[in-house]
């Protein structure tokens, strides 16, 4: 069994292709460290490229609950989550019950003495957060995502 897969959160199965996402730049994963540092703020770089985590309840999207629109990867613009899948989990980070198809990959994360499932952007391989199996129906998933890793788009 592979430690990495693409998933939309509905069944945990391998979902995909390397198709370009609307608004994404397919060469982003090939950027050098210096290019990422130039493109991202210090905090964005720490979270997205060094797998950091923002402080609980500090992110701009924790209490942000629009009726429509989507959330994009702050590093490359790939659409990650539909606003309709966002819910209040009380965990201190934005939570979604499903990711857009083929938008994220998951890997086993054993850092900090824990075993978790890390969520990364499928286009640019940036760290987004983690996914847990304690979410609401219809998927039972809780994608716990750092606000600084996303940008909200009303479109």
Is residue 121 annotated as part of the catalytic site, yes or no? no
- The catalytically annotated residue of 73, 76, 121, 144 is 144
Query: CA angle at residue 150 from 145 to 153, to 5 degrees?
Result: 125
The distance from CA 4 to its chain's CA centroid, rounded to whole angstroms, is 14
Q: Where does residue 118 rank: exposed (0-12), middle (13-18), buried (19+ CB within 10 A)? A: buried
* Residues whose CB is less than 8 angstroms from the CB of residue 63 and which lie 6 or more positions away in sequence, other chains included: none
Consecutive H or E run containing 104: strand 104-109
Residue numbers annotated as active site: 144
């Amino acid at each position: 069994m592979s430690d990495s897969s693409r998933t939309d959160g509905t069944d945990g199965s391998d979902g995909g292709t390397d198709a370009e996402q609307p608004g994404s730049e397919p060469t982003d994963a090939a950027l050098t460290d210096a290019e990422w540092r130039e493109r991202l703020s210090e905090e964005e770089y720490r979270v997205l490229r060094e797998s950091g985590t923002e402080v609980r309840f500090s992110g701009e999207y924790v209490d942000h609950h629009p009726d429509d629109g989507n959330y994009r990867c702050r590093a490359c613009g790939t659409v990650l989550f539909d606003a309709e899948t966002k819910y209040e989990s009380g965990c201190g980070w934005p939570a979604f019950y499903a990711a857009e198809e083929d938008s994220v990959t998951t890997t086993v994360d054993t850092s900090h003495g824990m075993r978790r499932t890390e969520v990364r952007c499928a286009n640019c391989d940036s760290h987004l957060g983690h996914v847990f199996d304690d979410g609401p129906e219809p998927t039972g998933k809780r994608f716990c995502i750092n606000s600084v890793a996303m940008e909200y788009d009303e479109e």
